[in-house]
Amino acid sequence: MEYKVNRNSEVDTWKEVMLVYQSALKEIGTKLEILNDEFQHVHRYNPIEHIKSRLKTSESIVKKLKKDGHESTIENMVKYVNDIAGIRIICSFTTDIYRIAEMIGNQSDIKVLSVKDYIQNPKASGYKSYHMIVSIPIYLSDRIIDAKVEIQIRTVAMDFWASLEHKIYYKFEGNAPEHITEELYICAQMVSALDAKMLSLNEEIQEIERENGKNS
């Protein structure tokens, strides 16, 4: 994100930067709603179950900068912290994840900066999700600013598992007992099996509907 720092007031500077990130969340959110509505109109199906958005707190931003060895400045925040603005897209099936990612990438004013596919390559913990870092132009009164947004796309089942893992991670400060870590991994495999089964059932239902349509 290109940002000109206002040296007159640190408070105003912070507020303006966060205004830009908040605007980026609104821009991406509106695009996703339009894409979902269009998909419903054309295919009579909504790939997106719901959307969550959040702005990282100042404490989390400072903690991340310190962890990565950077001084806590506005410039470093904008340059090195890619997930200040975050959007999580929850969908029903794994196939929806890639469909949504493709739709986002096809938007002419959205630039995909990086992708991490934790569905094809899950984390050691069993975590699955599809991550994108994108930038989107924000039009202010006197300039255009490219703001970065992290997008996470996952199924309902993946989101449920990730939410539980997140709570456990913070409860034990990243050092959960080994048996709990093992149980979480087993649950992750169960989630993957459930997603695969639900996708198979959905495809079978669609095939039956197509056959009924041909015979009617």
Bridge pairing between strands 144-155 and 130-139: antiparallel
DSSP code at position 90: E
Q: What is the DSSP string of 40-64?
A: HHHHS--SEEEEEEEE--HHHHHHH
Q: Which alpha helices (H) appear in the chain, and where do they start and end? A: 10-43, 58-67, 74-80, 94-105, 156-171, 178-215
Residue 150 designated active-site: yes
Catalytic residue among 150, 173, 207, 211: 150
For the chain, the distance separating the N- and C-terminal CA atoms, rounded to the nearest angstrom, is 55
Residue 70, class by beta-carbon neighbours within 10 Å (0-12 exposed, 13-18 middle, 19+ buried)?
Answer: middle
Rounded Cα distance, 106 and 32, in Å: 12
What residues are annotated to the active site? 150
